[in-house]
Amino acid sequence: QVQLVESGGGLVQAGGSLRLSCAASGRSVSSYILGWFRQAPGKEREFVAAAWNGGNTYTQYADSVKGRFTISRDNAKNAVYLQMNSLKPEDTAVYYCAASSTYGRPSSEVLYEYWGQGTQVTVSS
């Protein structure tokens, strides 16, 4: 079993930055796909970013965050991060970290079997 704990959420003004962290425990997730998803009030949960290893580290981003958000992972620390810059009010959501031991479409939440409890990000205008 893998446990995921997110941290780093908070309240920030539009244009500001936040860095989310997700610490994994229970087993090494170095070979897992690690992803970030978010859910805004009244909306479906949506894909934000994912990173996986295959010789190099590969990443994928939702169009809405490309150029503003950066996902990174530290396999030695069993952790994944999401650096969020140029934040907009529409980025307000609960952000979830997820991990998948199998490979597939990284943007699909059904791929992921482990989820964190979420951390709130609020961007004020």
pLDDT of residue 112: 97
Tell me the sheet residues that pair with 37: 47, 96
Place of tokens 């962290």: 21
pLDDT of residue 58: 94
* Spans of the chain below 70 pLDDT: 55
Per-residue pLDDT tens for 29-61?
A: 999 999 999 999 999 999 999 999 876 789 999
Place of tokens 């087993």: 27
How many alpha carbons lie under 13 Å from residue 32 in its C-beta half-sphere? 27
pLDDT of residue 66: 98
